[in-house]
Chains A and B, each alone.
Chain A
Amino acid sequence: MTGSERVSASPSTSPLRIVGDVTVGFPASRTGYGQATYGNTQPQTERATWIAVWPDGSVTAYAGKVEYGQNIRTGLAIEVADELRVGLDDVEVVLGDTDRVPWDMGTFGSQSTARVGWQLRKAAATAREAILALASDRLDLPASDLEASAGQVRPKADPSRGISYADLLAGQSIEREISERPAVFGPSEFTLMGRAQRQRVDALDRVTGRAVYSQDVLPAGVLYASILRPPAYGARPTRIDLSAAERMPGVARVVDEGDLIAVLGESDEAAALGARAAVIDWQLREGQPSRFDMPALLVESGVDGYAVQEAGDLDEGFRAASSVIESTYYIPYIAPAPMEPRAAVAVWEGDRLTVWAGTQRPFGIRQELAAAFGIEESRVRVIAPEIGGGFGAKSPYGLAIEAARLAKVAGRPVRVAFTRGEETMWSNFRPAAIVRIKSGFDAHGRITAWQSDAYHSGERVMIGRRGADTPYDVPHVRSLVYRSDSPLPSGSYRSLGAAVNHFARETHMDEIAEAAGLDPVELRLRNLSHPRFRRVLETAASDFGWSGPRLGEGRGAGIALGIDVGSYVATAVEVSVAGRDVRVHRVQASLDCGLVVNPEGALNQMEGSIVMGLGGTLFEASDFEDGRLLNAGFARYRVPRIVDTPRIDVRFVGDDTDPSTGAGEPGLVPLSAAVTGAVWGATGVRHRELPVTRHL
């Protein structure tokens, strides 16, 4: 069966379908960030088809996640192919199309392999069992005497009598519920999982430019929208005159709906020139805080202190200490800045709406569209094509509604696409934060008391709480997380607040080590009993060749550990500092994320998250005053480049009998503290504010 035939075929026409419930699509059992933030997103159907096996034995797997660089299309295909015992090329994975895939809350929190991958493994194992049952009937042998391999079922005693899946499925129409306890393979039986793959399944499309992103969707007759957006947060139009814009050549129409002012052109150029001819007076909102107000604002406006961790009695812990130190850490807002600015294209056919949107939440956006137009969700289809990065920024996707509103007015397809400046300004930023930590420890460097107060900007409390607890063995501990005012829109960012909280905690551990006269690795090990934490730390230190922070001649080494999305991670780095120039020369990380399904994919994610983490550590900070973003474009917002990239080595140390946990985010969490620890080793200066290069 060709790809295009499969694309057009409904799974209901396939001879073998595996169905199951969609609750796996909740990020974490109806809890966690997704539930707290997007819990209004509810499934319309409880069950869905997860796998279809076609008459020729080829397989389609359906998942509500989206592909925005994590390479889950390859990872999920590996899991399905291995459990079904077909070739990787025989499996197609359909993602992110609300008409075709199981409901899903959204692609965030590194849940794709951990939850959806497991669901698809069970579905594929169920399909294999169904096929074995067919063969058992045909060959009059018990299923236990048969084995599946390379798209065939063979008697173990006589492998030459193989029957192909296609043969077995001819004329069938079987629907099976995913077995609660299907016979999924164990690590010793894997043929694809955990093994290096030659290439990604979507590699060819990516290197030939054929991969289609939301920016690339151009249906016939599409109108290009230029939306006249406020020049500053909180600005309101006081006068709108679109008469000159309307007369510009190539302008199809102008739209003024108060909260949506747009020029629709027959080309991008006509729309842009039309928008330039629009006259709008804006009233700015006065008295908005600037970046310089942030540290004080965070603390003064902090409310709802929530105990992420509380045990023992702090007073007793501090009394037992021979030393007490206290430090404050500040992390500014940073921008996700994905390479693809968001775009959306809307097409109405009667009261049926299709929107292409490169969003992390196609089902959430479908629900928002249905609500905006008062129509049933079944009338709305949201298609998330390839997505050019997201990192949390593409969970909110207001452009989809703008495009649909404009398309309805115009009676034609409409494309709304952000410029780089719009993408940055109308994004959500990683929250700014202040973290205060007071610790007490004895003469042996054993921590007796740990008091942490973290103030993260923004309403979404789950962001600041992530990673705010300490993994060290502290008898008396209280970690509170407060919610503070946010002058900039703040929201999801890769690892949420975990990288921020880890920076404060792990830097503080280095400060304890310094005060106690201990090596940073030794100090950590003295306070760490959890074997998985100890293993990642000891592996990273050993692989790195750890010999302490001070390497001499302007060089230093740093190390830190952490946990995120269920995965244990430790990272060691070497830097050199010369004047204001900080160079990270090498990074050695170890990750325990349980079973690694696709080693090259997980490695790529670790490398990428480390590079991304270098940006926020060394260069990045979003500046603002009077409601204006001062560094929206790449000219003033410095992100890591190829010349900033160190040698990165990663070792996976998890057990393949442990369930898979996330690999996309953990790389970020220990990185900042490892780098600032190395800068201390090189210079003797302790950096408690990021980014480092602003404070040299």
Chain B
Amino acid sequence: MTITLNVNGARREAAHGERNLLSFLRFDLGLTGTKYGCGEGLCGACTVLVDGQALRSCMTTVGAVAGGEVTTIEGLSPGTSVEDLHPVQRAFVEEQAMQCGYCIPGFIMGAVGLLNRRPDASAGEIREALAEHMCRCGTYQRIAAAVERAASGEGAS
């Protein structure tokens, strides 16, 4: 039985409700900005927003989020220039908070989810919220600085 859901503001159809959300986004919709890292919900690379809250898409089915609004990294901003990025994305650019970049979309979505809940999150809250995200290149110091910058509104336009 097909199932419909909202992804980045558009109605999309999945073949069945048991379809893995990460696979659906990447392979069925071609939204490959959301990454596969571990498949066990442990690394955060697959993080998307569902109704503004961060969620591990690798551990979720399409059916489980059918009523909600799914936002992926591609839907976060037009992204045609640094100026029209989401403030969290822009902060990552400004802090050069990336190396290989594979984990970065997940981190950004996790941070946006946190700031949706806690717009003025403290440095400690930021670290705690992102503790379940992995960056093997070790850019954590910059990631923390970027999210703190976004939380403080510094550099936001």
Residues of A within 8 A of B (CB): 68-71, 198-200, 202-213, 215-216, 218, 224, 267-269, 337-341, 386-391, 417, 419-420, 600-601, 604-605, 607-612, 633-635, 639-643, 645, 647-648
Contact of A200 among B30, B43, B98 (CB under 8 A): B98
Interface status of B113 (Cβ within 8 A of chain A): no
A89 to chain B, nearest CB (A): 12
Residues of B close to A218: CB separation below 8 A = 27, 30, 32
Which of B45, B77, B142 has the largest number of chain A CB atoms within 10 A? Answer: B142
Interface status of B65 (Cβ within 8 A of chain A): no
- What's the Cα separation between A202 and B101 when bound, in Å? 10
A204 adjacent to B79 (CB under 8 Å):
yes
- Output the nearest chain A residue to B22 by Cβ-Cβ distance: A268
Residues of A close to B137: CB separation below 8 A = 69, 339, 389, 608, 612
B138 adjacent to A609 (CB under 8 Å):
yes
B32 adjacent to A216 (CB under 8 Å):
yes
A206 adjacent to B101 (CB under 8 Å):
yes
B36 adjacent to A389 (CB under 8 Å):
no
B93 adjacent to A608 (CB under 8 Å):
no
B118 to chain A, nearest CB (A): 16
- What's the Cα separation between A210 and B93 when bound, in Å? 14
Contact of B144 among A205, A337, A642 (CB under 8 A): A642
- Output the nearest chain B residue to A207 by Cβ-Cβ distance: B89
- A215-B98 CB under 8 A given contacts A199-B93, A268-B27, A269-B23: no
Interface status of B96 (Cβ within 8 A of chain A): yes
CB contacts under 8 Å to A, within B113-157, are 127-128, 130-144
A608 adjacent to B128 (CB under 8 Å):
no
- What's the Cα separation between A467 and B122 when bound, in Å? 42
A533 to chain B, nearest CB (A): 25
B100 adjacent to A339 (CB under 8 Å):
yes
- A210-B94 CB under 8 A given contacts A608-B138, A611-B140: no
Known contacts A340-B100, A341-B36, A647-B141; 9 further A-B pairs (Cβ under 8 A): A69-B100, A208-B76, A210-B79, A337-B136, A339-B137, A420-B39, A420-B43, A604-B96, A633-B42
A641 adjacent to B140 (CB under 8 Å):
yes
Interface status of B108 (Cβ within 8 A of chain A): yes
14 A-B residue contacts at CB 8 Å? A199-B96, A207-B79, A209-B105, A216-B32, A224-B27, A267-B23, A339-B43, A339-B45, A339-B135, A420-B37, A604-B139, A611-B138, A611-B140, A634-B40
- What's the Cα separation between A643 and B19 when bound, in Å? 33
Interface status of B2 (Cβ within 8 A of chain A): no
- What's the Cα separation between A491 and B45 when bound, in Å? 26
- A209-B20 CB under 8 A given contacts A340-B102, A386-B101, A645-B144: no
Residues of A close to B105: CB separation below 8 A = 207, 209
Residues of A close to B35: CB separation below 8 A = 213, 215, 339-340, 388
Which of B40, B105, B140 has the largest number of chain A CB atoms within 10 A? Answer: B140
B23 adjacent to A268 (CB under 8 Å):
yes
CB contacts under 8 Å to A, within B37-52, are 37-40, 42-43, 45
A339 adjacent to B136 (CB under 8 Å):
yes
A645 adjacent to B140 (CB under 8 Å):
yes
Residues of A close to B136: CB separation below 8 A = 337-339, 389, 391, 612, 639
- What's the Cα separation between A639 and B132 when bound, in Å? 11
Residues of B close to A604: CB separation below 8 A = 96, 99, 139, 142
Interface status of B5 (Cβ within 8 A of chain A): no
B97 to chain A, nearest CB (A): 9
B148 to chain A, nearest CB (A): 12
Interface status of B59 (Cβ within 8 A of chain A): no
- What's the Cα separation between A159 and B90 when bound, in Å? 38
Residues of A close to B53: CB separation below 8 A = none
A607 adjacent to B38 (CB under 8 Å):
no
- What's the Cα separation between A173 and B42 when bound, in Å? 55
Which of A337, A635, A640, A643 has the largest number of chain B CB atoms within 10 A? Answer: A643
B2 to chain A, nearest CB (A): 15
A339 adjacent to B73 (CB under 8 Å):
no
Contact of B77 among A208, A338, A391, A641 (CB under 8 A): A208
B104 adjacent to A206 (CB under 8 Å):
yes
CB contacts under 8 Å to A, within B68-104, are 72-74, 76-77, 79, 81-82, 85, 89-90, 92-94, 96, 98-104
B134 adjacent to A206 (CB under 8 Å):
no
B138 adjacent to A389 (CB under 8 Å):
no
Residues of B close to A647: CB separation below 8 A = 141
Residues of A close to B57: CB separation below 8 A = none
B143 to chain A, nearest CB (A): 7
- What's the Cα separation between A604 and B135 when bound, in Å? 13
Residues of B close to A419: CB separation below 8 A = 39
Residues of B close to A207: CB separation below 8 A = 73, 79, 85, 89-90, 92-93, 98, 104-105, 108
Residues of B close to A209: CB separation below 8 A = 31-34, 72-74, 105
B89 adjacent to A339 (CB under 8 Å):
no
B90 to chain A, nearest CB (A): 8
Residues of B close to A269: CB separation below 8 A = 19-20, 23
- What's the Cα separation between A361 and B37 when bound, in Å? 22
Residues of A close to B42: CB separation below 8 A = 633-635
- What's the Cα separation between A609 and B142 when bound, in Å? 14
Which 9 residue pairs of A and B lie closest in terms of their CB atoms, listed nearest first?
A209-B33, A611-B138, A388-B102, A69-B100, A69-B99, A206-B101, A209-B73, A208-B79, A216-B32
Residues of A close to B77: CB separation below 8 A = 208
- What's the Cα separation between A338 and B136 when bound, in Å? 6
B140 adjacent to A634 (CB under 8 Å):
no
Residues of A close to B128: CB separation below 8 A = 643
Residues of B close to A204: CB separation below 8 A = 79, 81-82, 85, 93
